[in-house]
């Protein structure tokens, strides 16, 4: 399942040239990912209450075109890979039909102390239902 999460670019997210700073994209990915989990009925706070966390262990972004203050953008997100120990999301950031950026995050399944653990089987099964191939 893919969703598009809307974002309005804030002034504080831009640099001296009036372009969205590259670091501003990372919180947008997180917002879309958290919304995706909410929409599939697995809110992240509930996952954390179970003692599971998904720290980001790898991130990649390719910037195609700049976004600017006041732009209405959408972060498209989908689950590209899920195993008992890792989760990988893919993203595309759009302004209308124009692709602004694309990338991925990879997350390690861990306990609250940060130790790598296996994902509970029921959660793995649920997430696996929503995995789709990148395109």
Reply yes or no on whether the pLDDT at 133 is more than 90: no
**Percentage of the chain exceeding pLDDT 90:** 96
Classified as helix, coil or strand, 21 is coil
Architecture of domain 3-129 in this structure: Roll (3.10)
CA 40, CA 126: separation in Å to the nearest integer?
9
Going by C-alpha positions, the residue among 105, 26, 27, 20 that lies closest to residue 64 is: 20
Determine the Cα angle at 79 with ends 34 and 110, to 5°.
65
Residue pair 40/46 in contact (Cβ under 8 Å)? The answer is no
Q: What is the pLDDT of residue 56?
A: 97
Tell me phi and psi for residue 39, to 5 degrees: -70, -25
pLDDT tens readout for residues 10-41: 999 999 999 999 999 999 999 999 999 999 99
CB atoms within 10 A of CB 78: 19
CA 107, CA 8: separation in Å to the nearest integer?
26
Query: What's the pTM?
Result: 0.94
User: How sure is the predictor about 134, in pLDDT bands with cuts at 50, 70 and 90?
Assistant: low
């Amino acid at each position: 399942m893919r969703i598009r999460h809307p974002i309005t670019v804030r002034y504080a997210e831009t640099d001296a040239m009036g372009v969205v700073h590259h670091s501003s994209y990372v919180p947008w990915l997180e917002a879309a990912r958290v919304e995706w989990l909410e929409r599939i009925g697995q809110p992240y706070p509930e996952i954390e209450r179970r003692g599971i966390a998904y720290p980001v262990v790898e991130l990649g972004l390719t910037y195609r075109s700049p976004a600017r203050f006041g732009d209405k953008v959408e972060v498209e997100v989908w689950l590209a890979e899920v195993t008992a120990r890792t989760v990988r999301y893919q993203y595309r950031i759009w302004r209308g039909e124009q692709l602004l950026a694309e990338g991925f995050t990879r997350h390690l399944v861990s306990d609250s102390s940060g130790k790598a653990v296996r994902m509970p089987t029921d959660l793995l099964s649920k997430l696996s239902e929503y995995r789709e191939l990148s395109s």
